[in-house]
Chains A and B, each alone.
Chain A
Amino acid sequence: MNIQAMMVRVLLALIPGFLLMAYSFGPGVIINVGLAMLFCTGFEAMMLGLTRKPLRVLTDGSALVTGALLGLALPPYLPVGYLLIGCLFAMVLAKHTYGGLGRNLFNPAMVGFAVLIVSFPLAMSTWPDPGHRLADPLLVFSVKLHNGDALPVLIDGISRATPLDEFKFRGALTVAEFWDQFGPENARAWLYINLGFLFGGLYLVYSGVCHWRAPTAMLFTLAALSLPGYDYGSSASTGTPFMHLFSGATMLGAFFIVTDPVTSPNSTSGQWVFGVGVGILTYVIRVTGAYPEGIAFAILLMNGASPLIDHIEFRLRPHPGHSA
Chain B
Amino acid sequence: MNELGNISREGLWSNNPALVQMLGLCPLLAVSTSIVSALALGLVTIFVLTLSNLVISAFRSVLADSIRLPAQIMVIATFVTLADILLQYWFFELHQRIGLFVALIVTNCTLLGRAEAFASRNRVGYALVDGLSMGLGFALVLLAMGAVREILGQGTLFNNLDLLFGAGFTDWRIQLVDNGFLFMLLPPGAFITLGFMIALKNRLTLPRRDQFSENENSQKENRSQNSSPRI
Contact = CB atoms under 8 A, between A and B. Distances in A.
Contacts of A85: 181
Counting contact residues on chain A (CB < 8 A from B), the size range is 10 to 19
Counting contact residues on chain B (CB < 8 A from A), the size range is 10 to 19
B179 interface: yes
Contacts of A148: 178-179
B212 to A, nearest CB: 5
18 contacts: A51-B212, A52-B211, A53-B212, A85-B181, A93-B192, A115-B183, A118-B182, A118-B183, A118-B186, A118-B188, A119-B181, A119-B182, A119-B183, A120-B182, A147-B179, A148-B178, A148-B179, A149-B179
Contacts of B178: 148
Majority SS at the chain B contact face: loop
A69 to B, nearest CB: 20
Contacts of B183: 115, 118-119
Interface string A38-56: 0000000000000111000
Nearest to A149: B179
A182 B188 CA distance: 36
Given A51-B212, A119-B183, 19 more contacts: A52-B211, A52-B212, A53-B212, A85-B181, A93-B192, A97-B195, A115-B183, A115-B188, A118-B182, A118-B183, A118-B186, A118-B188, A119-B181, A119-B182, A120-B182, A147-B179, A148-B178, A148-B179, A149-B179
Most B CB atoms within 10 A — which of A97, A119, A147, A148? A119
Nearest to B210: A52
Contacts of A147: 179
Interface in A133-152: 147-149
A51 B219 CA distance: 14
A238 to B, nearest CB: 28
Contacts of B192: 93
A148 B180 CA distance: 9
Contacts of B181: 85, 119
Nearest to A53: B212
A97 B192 CA distance: 11
Interface string B164-204: 00000000000000110111001010001001000000000
A249 B178 CA distance: 32
Nearest to B211: A52
Contacts of A52: 211-212
A93 B195 CA distance: 11
A97 B178 CA distance: 29
Contacts of B188: 115, 118
